[in-house]
A and B are shown apart, each in its own frame.
Chain A
């Protein structure tokens, strides 16, 4: 079966521009997560969705970051007025409902802000 799909795989943008990152989770997975991974750093939690709701947005670094999920499936992470410190790999993961469900990750979007 298909895994988690993220697009684009790479994105280079100029400082100040807006970007949209897309995540297609595994079909039937109700939980969806966005993480950020900087070079040599661990996984930084950004936001968690259960269905279309986001009970925890506490990891979003600033109000320039927003995310939505529609139809309990596809999610979009939007970064407005990008800054150089936003450069990182943005990873999406999904999980089935129920406790102890492992996260299944996509291959990420590598964002470079010039």
Chain B
């Protein structure tokens, strides 16, 4: 069964304290892995797509990496405005329209 697991469920960081969020997946062939940011009261906002193991994408303080079993979202020197829930989703080869979401990591960055 296709599955996505995110850890930790919640993370508190001091401003400037770098860390990583994990997204582990089991799918019957990966078509794409997506990272989203969700602020309270808003819909998820698209951040990155990763397609193959070894790929990396960067945006400001965020860097996403991908292996054959998991993806990491690295946050370098975070700021309070990076506080949000970060969601991971995968699209398997078997169903090209399907997006399977994890339950997210709630990140709180303290000033």
Q: Which of B84-111 contact A (CB under 8 A)?
A: 87, 89, 91, 96-99, 101-104
Of the candidate stretches A13-21, A64-72, A79-87, A95-103, the one touching chain B is A95-103
Interface residues on A, range: 20 to 34
CB distance from B17 to the nearest CB of A (A): 25
* B51 engages A42 (CB within 8 Å): no
* A106 engages B43 (CB within 8 Å): yes
A50 an interface residue at 8 Å Cβ cutoff?
A: yes
Q: Mark B44-66, 1 if CB is under 8 A from A, else 0.
A: 11100101000000000000000
- In the assembled complex, the Cα of A107 lies from the Cα of B43 at a distance in Å of 4
* A102 engages B34 (CB within 8 Å): yes
- In the assembled complex, the Cα of A64 lies from the Cα of B67 at a distance in Å of 42
* A50 engages B103 (CB within 8 Å): no
Task: Please count how many residues in chain B sit with their CB below 8 Å of the partner chain's CB atoms.
Answer: 23
A48 an interface residue at 8 Å Cβ cutoff?
A: yes
Known: A106-B43, A107-B42. A100 touches B31 (CB 8 A): yes
Residue ID in chain B nearest A40 by CB atoms: B103
- In the assembled complex, the Cα of A43 lies from the Cα of B87 at a distance in Å of 10
Known: A106-B43, A107-B42, A107-B43. A100 touches B101 (CB 8 A): no
Chain B residues engaging chain A, CB cutoff 8 angstroms: 31-32, 34, 36, 41-46, 49, 51, 87, 89, 91, 96-99, 101-104
Chain A residues engaging chain B, CB cutoff 8 angstroms: 4, 31, 33, 41-43, 45, 48, 50, 55-56, 91, 93, 99-100, 102-108
